[in-house]
Structures are given as structure tokens and as C-alpha cells.
Structure 1
Amino acid sequence: MRVAAIRAGAALALALAAPAMASTPGAPGALPPEGTRDAENAQRGFIATLTDPVIRNAAGKPVWNLDAYAFVHGAAPGTVNPSLWRHMTHLKHHGLFAVAPGVWQVRGFDVSNMTVIRGASGWIIIDPLTSVEAAKAALDLVNRELGARPVSAVLYSHSHGDHFGGVRGVVGEADVAAGRAAIIAPAGFMEEATSENVMAGGAMQRRAAYQFGTGLAPGATGQMGSGIGKGLSAGTLSLIPPTDTIAATGDTRVIDGVALEFQIVSGTEAPAEFNVLIKPAKTFLAAEIATCSLHNILTPRGAKVRDARAWAHYLDEAALRYAPQADTVISSHCWPVFGKEEGTAWLSAQRDIYRWLHDQTVRRMNRGETMDEIAEALEAGPPKVNAREWATRGYYGTISHNAKAIYQFYLGWYDAVPANLHPHPPEVRARKLVEALGGADRTLALGEAAMAAGDYRWASDLLQSLVFAAPDNAAAKAALARSYTAQGHAAESAIWRNQFLSAASDLMRGRPQSSASQSNDMIAAIATQELLDSAATLFAPERAGKRGYSIAIDLTDKRETAMIEVGEDVMIGRVGALPAAPAATLRGPRRALLALLFVRMPVDTVAQMPGVTIEGDKAMLQALIDNLDPMPHGFDIVLP
């Protein structure tokens, strides 16, 4: 962990009256020279922002505060890594910015940027933020300052929610259906958006709360953004499926009179992703393969492991093929880079950090080093590019967890040591470890001693085991919270800070009640096969109930037929097929199927919905619904 980058232990002394941690690579003396490029680029082209900084939903509830990070100015306090503080002084800016002739960005209205291109008749929007409310506020600002125009097209650069979730805030589905607005995405977009946001949505939402610090208030002792932006807006996630997809690098489209060329970079930051060369404006959108920070090969919230080697190749292609055609390089997070030479150098520097991470991890992996050993070695000897380029530093991803992700990409979780092949689960192991150490009091004393010596990593290891073994031990929880707080205040990575501080908050205040839920709009937009596969992940075979029957489904609004086969241990859905002798048949619009599978609405209630008929044995259909888990709404992480 990059825990130093902290001035003579001031963070820990002020926050915890505890000794400072030992210095490691990334301390202030090793930081690149400041220069003025980032400060200038982050504010260049500013036009205007909202007078009222609070964006609210239809009920009047705040979903975003543009000024939440206005406190970031002057020297870094002792509770924030100075490098991260400096980074946030640039990320905090918000409003409408001109970046090239006919191209603007709205920045600071969410964790991501909205890029706006002037077409012949309307606006072309790239990445409409995370929420409907934030996207609408951003477009209202654009129309106010640049003149009102309809939206002629929306482009989703990739399959993450902060790049499509606000779409209904900028365009209506009726305009898309009527052909007045196009929705363009990379090939495979819907499958990957489903996989991440629905299939594994429950676990990712809970883990994302740690990664983005959604339960923490912004402040010098709290959340300091995400490393590539501020926090996540808390509004409504929406989705309108693409009307056109891009499959290959070099593919072009003329959209509302504007010529665009695409670079497919799928398998890097997202499984489905493209970059865009806006030809008339000589502007290259690097989407999210290049930002103001080292990114994640595997995000702490969880995702499919990304291909660092392919990432480096795509950055090389961008630097050689697209940067020479661009006077400006922009991304879907952070601020632009202006100038051909500057843009080429910026992309090349980021290419080099991913190439170094990949090659050095694989080199050491093939020498027999484990992921932990590799991460420690690479962190202790970062590449020379880190001494001259701020954008390769670990404000979001880190050398440590990225090296482990590359190891996992090739070899998986197992390090080939048989003791790690089948260990006890965490709670059992914790109890045995605490007993072996001499009991709870001695383990607590050892943890406190480790903190006093400045070894917070070992302290957390010991104390987390004690908390898992004795979750009611208040002294253990308090000590572990202090250890996590110390590491959070020292972290250069904003998302490491968020995870440590979120854990400390859970220990001392309890897990916050989760209001997170799956987006109904997202679920409604996905393909029926993906829907049935997602519902199958809710099937609980251990529950009592009848097995070995089938349900027929006739979706009248989609003109689709499907079936669900309930076996002993699995539930299998098939689209385009009907069982020969179904136990029951559901006929009606797809919202009825959604109500059954995801809301677990009683069958008799669904039967009363307009256009719905249920034939056969309703009790068998209800038996299926009773064997599905409710949609997940959070779980403990640092407590058993």
C-alpha cells in the first residue's frame, strides 16, 4: 500500500495522536514537479456553472452538490495525503467548458464528464453521466449558455453506469423510437451492461459504497472524491438500448453532419468500450483508457479482470494513430490535454505505466513470485514515468492492487501453496488464530503495539481477525477503526482512502441502511435471455418445494415466447421455446414477468395487472417465486 506520501507523519499525529508511518515510494520528495499544466487545463475554457449548486430530484431531495469540495484550497491538512489534496484542487472545478471548436464538456456534475458536440441540427452527447437528474441539469446549462437545441444523438463510450445512466435526462425514448435521436454504443454493450449492473449488481453496489465512499461526507477527515472525479450522483439510473453499435477500429459515422471515427478498446477499462475522434474539431476522446490517474486493472468494487497488455497496445495505437490528428485529447473523466505533442506524450506516458505493470508482473510471476510479493516489489520500485507525470500516479488504481489483478488475469487466485488451496473460511480461521495468539486480550495488545510502532498493515491484520472472531468486542472494533482511519488519511489513492474510512465508519457506527436497488429501467431494457439468466442467480435450491416442472411465458408486448424449467438445483430460462406440458402459462406484457421475478409480487396480484392472464396451476408459479431470493440490499464487510 502506498501509505506514505504524507508530511512527517502530520496526518496521523493530528488525526489520531499516533506515530507516523514509515516513508515509502510516493512520499512528497518523490512527486513530479508541479508545473502549471494541470491547473491551467482544469480551468481552461470555463464558461459558466449553475447558480444553485444543489441538484435535486423530482421530490426535492438533493442528489448532487457541485460545491461539496469547495473546502479544498490552500495547504493540505494533516488528515489528507498532500498528493491527493493537490489532485482534488483540480478535480473540484465544475461547469461548462469549451475544449475545441464545436466541442464542450460539462465537468463536475457527477463522477464522469458529459461531452457535447454541436451537430447540424442538435446536440450530440457523449456519456450522459450517472443519473437522470444530473444529466438534465448539465444539458439545461448547455442550452442556457449555448442556445437551446434538441439532442440528435447520444453515444455511450462504454458499459459502466456513469456513462449511460443519465440518458433519460437528455433524450426521451419516444424521440429515439421515432428516429429523431440515435443511441450509439460499442458492440456487446447491452450484454456487458447487464453482466455488471444486473447479474452481479447486488454485490457490486455494496462494494462500490466502500470504493466511492458513498456513506462518507466530503471533508478533510472524510471522502476526498474518487481519484478520477468527485463522488457518484445519487439520482435515477436509466437506460435506453442502442440503436446502432460500433464493432471495429476505423469504423466511421456521420452523425448530424459531424464525422466521427471510432477506436474499439474493449477489454481494457470496460469489456465493451470505444474512443472517438471528432474529426472536424480535431479532438480525440480517450473515453476512460486514459485519465488523470492510473486506472484499475481490477476495481476494488469488483468487475471482470481487464487485460493490461491490450490496454497498453490500445494506448500505443491512440498515441500513434489518433493523437497526431488531434489538437486536444479529452476523456470521460478529469480535464483535457491541449496540443498535439502534449496529447501524444500524455497518452504515451500512460501506455508505459500499463506496459510496465504488465511486463514486470509477468516477469516476476514466471520467476515464482506470488501476487503479494510482486505487488510489494513493484510498489517499492515504481517506473521513472511516475517521477515526471502526475497522470500515471495512483489516485484511482494503484500499482499494488493492479499488479495483483494482472497475476489473477493469468493465474487466478491460487498461489500454488497448498495451505492456501483449502483454508478455513474467515470467521473460523479468525477464531483459531486468536486462540493461537493467546486469546482476545493478547491479540488486542499485539494490534495496539503494532499501531504504536507505525505498522498499521499488521495491526489491521491482527485486529480484523479479532473482530471476526469476537464481533461484540468493542475495544477491538475501536482499535481496528483507528488503524483503518490512519491508513485512509495517509492513502494517495482516493478509493483506498474511501475503503479504509468506510470500514472505520461501519465499525463505529454500524452499517448504514442501504437504499440501493436495481434500476427498474436497467432491468426493463435488457434482453429477455439476460433477464432470465439474472433471475436464475436468485434461485435458492435449498428451500423446500416442488421441482421438475416448467412455466410457459408469452410476452405479448415483445412478441416473444420463453420458458422457465425448474430442476432440482437450477432454474433454466430459454427464449424462443415453449414447454410441451407447462404447469402454468404467464401471458402478458414483460413488466408482469419483471414483477414476478424481481419484485416477487404475489401471483394473484400480478394476475390483476392489465393485459395479464395466467393459465394452469397458479400455485406452481407461486412456488417458483417463493424459491427466489429477494433483490440484495447490502451486507456486512468488516463484520462477520
Structure 2
Amino acid sequence: MRIKPLTVGISLALLGSISCTPTFAAGGGGSAVTDPAAMAGKHFDPKGKQPSQYTVEMQNAQRKSLPFEDQRDFEESKKGFIAAPSYRLIRNDQGDIVWNIGSYDYLSQGKDYNSIHPSLQRQAQLNMAYGLYEVVPGKIYQIRGFDLANMTLIKGDTGWILFDVLTAKETARAALDFANEQLGKRPVVAVVLSHSHADHFGGIRGVVDEADVKSGKVQVLAPEGFMEHAVSENMYAGNAMTRRMQLTYGTLLPRNPFGHVDQAIGKNVASGEVGLLEPTRTISKDIEEITIDGVQMVFQNTPGTEAPAEMNTYFPQFRAFWAAENVTGTVHNIYTLRGALVRDALLWSKNINNALYMFGDKTDVMFASHNWPRWGNERVKEVLQTQRDIYANLNNDVLHHANNGVTINEIHNVYKPPQSLQSNWAAHSYHGSEEHNSRAVLNRYLGYWDANPATLTPLSPRDSAPLYVEMMGGSKKIIAKGRELHKQGKYLEAVEILNKLTLAEPTNTAAKDLLADVYEQLGYQKESVALRNSFLASAYELRHGIPEGASPKTGSPDMVRAISTELMLDYLGVAMNSQKAAGMKFKINLLTPDNGEKYVLEMSNSTLTNIKGFTAPDADLTVTANRADLEMIMTGQATFESLAKAGKVKLSGNQAVLAQLMSTQEKFDPRFEILPGTKKR
């Protein structure tokens, strides 16, 4: 939900220079800065401010109004605890830290921080669980606190069946080693990957050997569409998503009461090596029953919910229900602010309802890939009903308001869940938020336009801002009014005018610092980590510019291999500057004999298209290269020139069109400016 996000950097001289950056759909901040001052409760930023009296008053009001007397989550989060490791750090083979649960120890001091929404602080404390837990006596166990997600271990007749294997090889390996140390060593006989987000499959090479998977010794199961979505969901806009993620997931915020406190569904994402192995078995039916190593499993496919490919699992022998990331006791993202297709809140609710009616009466414990289990049949059904109702209410009530004329630019100030749901912790928006999720629902059905012609073809913000500044009397008057609004605790009103000023005058340090002060107070007040991080990270950038270390790292060979050739060629069209392609017209045949694929890549009308399964008889150039050799280029292990010299790449026709194509390709800046005046020149 990471300074070093999962990325796949491709330098494909054959067809241009590609830089694609698939990012995690559910996390971020694996290498966020550890701040020694956090334990003393000190601000990490010399320009940072303490919570204002209005923020303190709001936090105190929340402490009085929220159901803090309900301690069931704390009891359940501790239940089944077996042991915790003696270490707090997990390192890779080179000695680099990939995980540090200790960087959040400031949350375990029993202090109330006015710089953190009380409800969010409660969630952050619950997510401090670290170690091995028993879910079903002698049969189901979980490792929590080793990564954003949990690793679940099911005890079969001869070995372990693992459900979700964390983000990184290093944390997954440490988790399995610790479980074996505590419970007795057992071989892994199967791995179940609940869905297509990397914090659930990336650690697979830390728990199984690829040769064992290929030989059939270890099964890997995943829902239909898993491989496609594991690499494609964020491919086309990957660079933009990675940059936006640095704000929304607080990947560059220090872990501090004034900075990063939690990721809502876990502490954070590990920053180790991400792997991916192709499943040996795909679950394609709505309901599919399988027995592996003596363990009966009933899979419920739930595509289009939290992930495009996702599935729940029921264990009839243990009266246990695995809710994947569909039911985690927090309201998730309908729209992920880093960027993604809008999800379907109603479909999500219906899939939870299906689980409730199919498995609810037969379940004594519900556990998931994040957070902690819920025990007892009534408790399980309560949480399922709550989560079902909050997603349905979000969908239905937003559309009710829309049908009464409320627009996408108003709905976030209108929609509120009913009080009965506000009083239930499982309906709180720690990962998503009521504000951005309500706008997402309306956008899904009606789109971004509010039906006012004034907003149909608006000026770009940086073009309209100078007009506003002029009409408001200039920067001095705006800053004076901004300070007045800030002192009155009218933070959104202050944002409205200060944002215009910073857009019009991006070098105005006083304006940017004042806007940062306003953003900071808004961040302190937010229950949702997505909103908190967005405001606080933006405040930091306004004060200091885009932090160093924001560039993405190269992804693993596994991820490169998983990218289809078609997806790779599609991306060339995205990376192409169409103005540079003006007047170009050519066709290139691409043949990859090792996998039998063939494509036509065609440039016309300053647009690059491709089609699979065809060759053009009038192609200007035919390129023949094994797909495996293209992967060598993509991962930087070889160059086009070296492979051509070795005879592994063959060119037939006019080679000049390659130079033409390459001249149109642009490498995206992973640190592009979002907030005015924050790019260090």
C-alpha cells in the first residue's frame, strides 16, 4: 500500500528505450527513513509544526466520540501468539536492511499523539503485531509483522501449504525459517497466491525452489487472470503511478509521529527482492473444491474486488474462512490514489455477501492476508455483515445523492456512512477514505464531469492561477488572508487560495511554506493513511523540494519475464513522443522463434500500433530474435549490439527504420514535479 518501489526498468535498444514501473497496489514505503527522534516524539523536519489548537481539539473530540471501549480487536490481535523473533531487522544477502519493524516502536510507548488521528493511531498500534500466531490449533498459523501482508501456514499431512508469501524473498525466507524453528521443519508442498498484488506473491523465491515447482513437487495455485494482472495492472502509467505513490503512500516520509505511522493493512512494505513464478494450477470456476496434502479447500473466485484477480478460501475441516484482502476489517480503496482503475464497490459488497451466505454459518474463525483474525461464529458474521454493508452503503448512498443532483465535486463533503457503521471499527476507512472513495463511485458511473459547462474544458490550473492572484490583489494579500485562515483553523479555505498562489508563483517560498503548514494540519487530522500521507508528503516537498532517493529501482528478472511481448510493444507506443514521429511511416515484423510469436509493429499518423499473430508482406524490416534474448536486453544482461554480433538477432530489410523508431522514444523522469516549485533544478 516505499523509497524503492517494485519497478521493471527495460532498456530495449531493439525497439527503443522502455521504462515501465509496475507498482504495488496495496502498499508502499519499504525503505522509508528511520528517525531516531521518533521515540522522543520530536518532529523530523526543522520547518515542521506542532498540532494546532484546532487539531488538538478535533483529536480530543474523536477520543470522546469513537467506541474506544470496544477492545475486541486488541484481544483478537494478541490471541494465539506463540513467539516473536529476537531480531527486529531483516537483511538481504548483502547485509542491507529490507525490513525494520523496530522503526515503529514509538507507537508502543503508550503515548497519545495529537499529530495522529486517534482512530488511526489505534490501527497503527494493532498492526505492531510481530511473530508467529496460531489461528486453528495445530493446523493453521500466521507470521505477522514481517512485511505488509501476513504469511499463512496450513499444516498438511506431509508439509506446509503457504497462503500468500509476502513481498520479498528475504522476508518470506525469514518468516518460513522462524515458523519451522518454532513448529518443526516441514517441506513446502503448495503455495496459494490469493491475488495479483506483489505484496502477496513477491516472496515466493524465499520459500520454494523453482525447480521443485517445475517438476510438480510443489504446486502453485492462483486465481484466473493472475499472471496477466500481476504485471499489467500498472504498466502503461507505471512511471506516473510510482511518482504519485511517493505522496499517497508516504514512501519518503520518516517513520515518526509527524510522518509515517502505518499502512492501514500492515506497517509497511519490505524493500527486498521481488520474485514471480507462474502458477501450476489456475482456479477458474466461481466455486472450486480441491484437496492438497489432506487439506480440503473451497475456493471462491472474486474478480474485480480488491484486485482484478482474487479469491477467498474456505476450509471445511477447520471451520475457517480465509478472506484474502477482501475483508480486512478496514474500508479499502475503491479508487487507489496512486492511480488504478476504479473498483466496483457494489460487486465487492456482493462477493462478501456470497461468502457470508455460503460460509458464514459454518465458520468459527476468519483470517486474511492482512491484519488479524476474528474468532467465534457471531463475531465472524458481524465483521462480514459490517464490511458488506459499508461497501454497499458507499455505492448506494453516493448514487442516491447523485440522482438528487450532487456532483463529483461535492459528494465528498456530503456522503457520510450511517452512525451505526461509524460506531463499528470494521467500517472505518484506514486504507481508503470516505472522501476519495465517494468520488470514485460517482466517477465510475458518471465520469469526472460535474455537468457544469465551466468545468468541461477548463484552463489548466497553472494558466488560471495568475488570473485569480491578480483578482485577489496579489501575493501579499493572499498570504495575509492565508495566515488569517490558518490561525482560525479554516484549513480547506486556506488551501483554496494558497494553492492558486503557489501555482502562479512557484518560487514564492513564503507561500509554499504557509501552504505546507496548512497541509500538515490536515494530514494530522486524517484517519485514512492515504490522505494523511498525501498531505504530509506534499508539505515536505513544498518545504524542501522532491526528496532524493525518489528514483525507482530496477525490477527482478521474474517480473521482466512475465511481461508479455504484446504489452512490451504497447508500451513503446506510450513512450513515443508523437511529435518526433511526424511524417514517419514504416512496418516492422518481429519474430520470436523460441515461443512461436509474431507481430507487426506499424508507424503511421504519428501513432505506433501492433498486432499479434500476423506478419506484413510489405514490412520495411523483419527482426528475428528469441524472446529469451529480448529478456536479456530488458534486464541489462546483454545489448542489442552484442546479440547482433553474436548472431542471435537477425535483421532483414531497411535497418534505418530502427533508428527512426528509437529517435521517438523518451525515458520518463521518475521524479517529475507535481507541486509547483518543488523540482530541484
Q: Scaled by the length of structure 2, what TM-score is found?
A: 0.87
Rounded to whole Å, the distance in 2 between the matches of 1:598 and 1:627 is: 22
Residues 518 and 277 (structure 1), Cα distance of their counterparts in 2 relative to 1, 3 Å cut:
farther
Q: What secondary structure sits across from 1:371 in the alignment?
A: coil
Give 1:23 shift.
Answer: 4.7
Q: Residue 434 of structure 2: which of 399, 411, 419 is its match?
A: 399
The 2-side partners of 1:371 and 1:26 are apart by 29
Aligned twin of 1:4: none
- Name the CA distance, whole Å, in 2 between partners of 1:347 and 1:107: 22
Letter of the structure 2 residue corresponding to residue 628 of structure 1: Q
Instruction: Supply the AA of the counterpart residue of 1:107.
Output: R
- Per the alignment, residue 5 of structure 1 pairs with none
| Rounded Cα–Cα distance in structure 2 between residues aligned with 1:146 and 1:622 | 60
Given candidates 550, 568, 583, the residue that maps to 2:620 is 583
- 1:155 matched to 2:189? The reply is no
The separation in 2 between residues aligned to 1:570 and 1:215, in whole angstroms, is 37
C-alpha distance in 2, partners of 1:25/1:383? Answer: 22
Match in the other structure for 2:604: 567
Aligned mates of 2:290, 2:283 — CA distance in 1: 9
Over 3 Å counting, the alpha-carbon distance change for 1:503 and 1:201 in structure 2 is same
Q: How many residues align?
A: 626
Which letter maps to 1:96? L
Q: CA deviation at 1:58?
A: 2.7
1:80 aligned to which of 113, 116, 123 = 116
Instruction: Tell me if structure 2 keeps the 8 A contact 1:261–1:276.
Output: yes
Tell whether the 8 Å contact from 1:558 to 1:590 is kept in structure 2 after alignment: yes
**How far apart, in 2, do the equivalents of 1:51 and 1:631 lie?**
43
Q: CA deviation at 1:387?
A: 4.3
Provide the residue aligned with 2:473 in structure 1: 438
Q: Which residue of 2 aligns with 1:239?
A: 276
* Cα RMSD (Å): 2.4
- State the match for 2:457 in structure 1: 422
Moved more, 572-581 or 60-69: 572-581
Classify the secondary structure of the residue corresponding to 2:394.
Answer: helix
Question: CA distance change for structure 1 residues 76 and 25 in 2, over 3 Å: closer, same or farther?
Answer: closer
Q: Is the 8 A contact 2:149 2:369 kept in 1?
A: yes
Counterpart-to-counterpart distance in 2, 1:619 and 1:139: 53
Compare 532-541 and 603-612 and name the one that shifted more. Answer: 603-612
* Aligned with residue 276 of structure 1, among 296, 306, 313: 313
Alignment of 1:38-57 (within 5 A): 38-57=73-92
Alpha-carbon spacing, 1:348–1:544, altered in 2? closer, same or farther (3 Å) = closer
Partner of 2:396: 359
Of 134, 138, 150, the residue aligned with 1:98 is 134
Name which structure has the greater RCO, CA cutoff 8 Å, separation 6+: 2
Per the alignment, do residues 569 and 595 of structure 1 end up closer, same or farther by CA in structure 2, a change over 3 Å counting? farther
- Is 2:422–2:428's contact at 8 Å kept on the other side of the alignment? no
C-alpha deviations, 1:305-358, integer Å up to 9, x for none?
A: 111111111111112211222211011110000111110111101111111111
Partner of 1:6: none
Q: Tell me by how many angstroms 1:125 deviates.
A: 1.6
**Structure 1, unpaired ranges of 5+:** 1-10
Task: Please name the residue that 1:637 is paired with.
Answer: 674
Structure 1 residues 276 and 459, CA, compared in 2 at 3 Å: closer, same or farther? same
Query: Which structure 2 segments of 5+ residues have no match?
Result: 1-42
Give the counterpart of 1:515 among 538, 547, 551.
551
Q: Secondary structure at the match of 1:587?
A: strand
Amino acid at match of 1:255: I
CA distance in 2, matches of 1:609, 1:89: 58
Q: Is the 1:226–1:396 Cα contact (8 Å) retained in structure 2?
A: yes
Return the alpha-carbon distance in structure 1 between the equivalents of residues 126 and 52 of structure 2: 30
For 2:476 and 2:636, the matched residues in 1 are separated by 47
Change (3 A) 1:60 1:461: farther
Residues 119 and 554 of structure 1: CA distance in aligned 2, closer, same or farther (over 3 Å): farther
Q: Which residue of 1 aligns with 2:538?
A: 503
Question: Residue in 2 aligned with 1:486?
Answer: 521
Structure 1 segment 111-190 matched on structure 2, within 5 A: 111-190=148-227
Alignment CA distance shift 1:167-1:534 (3 Å): farther
1:390 matched to 2:430? The reply is no
Q: Is 1:332 the counterpart of 2:366 in the alignment?
A: no
Aligned match of 2:22: none
Contact 1:214-1:231 at 8 Å conserved across structures = no
- Could you tell me how far apart the structure 2 residues matched to 1:598 and 1:533 are? 18
* Aligned partner of 2:65 among 18, 23, 30: 30
- 2 CA distance for matches of 1:349 and 1:46? 26
Give the AA of the match of 2:242.
Q
Q: In the alignment, does 2:250 pair up with 1:213?
A: yes
1:171 is aligned with what amino acid? V
Shift of 1:35: 2.7
SS state of the match for residue 259, structure 1? Answer: strand
The correspondence for 1:20, drawn from 54, 67, 71, is: 54
Distance 2:660 2:637 in 1: 11
**Distance in structure 1 (CA, Å) of the matches to 2:359 and 2:464:** 53
Q: C-alpha distance in 2, partners of 1:553/1:490?
A: 55
Describe the SS at the equivalent of 1:159: coil
Structure 1 position 109, deviation (Å) = 1.2
Shift of 1:174: 2.1
Does residue 195 (structure 1) correspond to residue 232 (structure 2)? The answer is yes
- Kept in 2: contact 1:264–1:274 (CA 8 A): yes
Q: Give 1:456's aligned amino acid.
A: Y
Residue type at the aligned position of 2:178 = L
Out of 659, 663, 678, which is 1:622 matched to?
A: 659
Cα 1:455–1:440 change in 2 (3 A) is same
Letter of the structure 2 residue corresponding to residue 149 of structure 1: R
**Code of the aligned partner of 1:41:** E
Look up the equivalent residue of 1:238 and give its one-letter code.
G
Q: Specify the SS of the correspondent of 1:356.
A: helix
* CA displacement, residues 349-408 of structure 1 (integer Å, 9 cap, x when unaligned): 1111111111111111001111232221223xx313334321211211121111111101
1:17 positional shift: 6.6
Residue matched to 2:483 = 448
Per-residue CA deviations over 1:90-146 (Å, capped at 9, x if unaligned) read: 111111211114111111111111112122333222211122222222122222222
**1:260, distance to aligned residue in structure 2 (A):** 0.9
Distance in 2 between residues matched to 1:573 and 1:418, nearest whole Å? 37
Q: Which sits farther off after the overlay, 599-608 or 536-545?
A: 599-608
Q: Deviations over 1:485-540 (max 9, x none)?
A: 11111211122111111111111221123231462432321332223223332122
Is residue 434–residue 466 contact of structure 1 (8 Å, CA) maintained in 2? yes
Q: Give the Å deviation of 1:546.
A: 6.6
1:411 alignment counterpart: 446
Contact 2:202/2:275 (8 A) holds in 1: yes
The CA distance in 2 between the partners of 1:152 and 1:611, in whole Å, is: 39
Q: Which moved more, 1:416-425 or 1:140-149?
A: 140-149
Which residue identity is paired with 2:50?
Answer: L
Distance 1:560 1:518 in 2: 26
The one-letter amino acid paired with 1:231 is N
Secondary structure (helix, strand or coil) at the match of 1:503 reads helix
Does the Cα contact within 8 Å between 1:210 and 1:503 map onto a contact in 2?
yes
In the alignment, is residue 289 of structure 1 matched against residue 323 of structure 2? no
* Deviation sequence 1:17-66 (CA, Å, 0-9, x none): 74415759982332124333111111211222332211122322211102
8 A contact 1:212–1:225 mirrored in 2:
no
Q: Is the 8 A contact 1:185 1:244 kept in 2?
A: yes
Q: Which moved more, 1:217-226 or 1:526-535?
A: 526-535
2:460 partner letter: P
Comparing 306-315 with 529-538, greater Cα deviation is found at 529-538
Amino acid at match of 1:402: N
Counterpart in 2 of 1:372? Answer: 409
- The range that moved more, 263-272 or 19-28, is 19-28
CA contact (8 A) 1:516 1:633 kept: yes
Alignment of 1:291-306 (within 5 A): 291-306=328-343
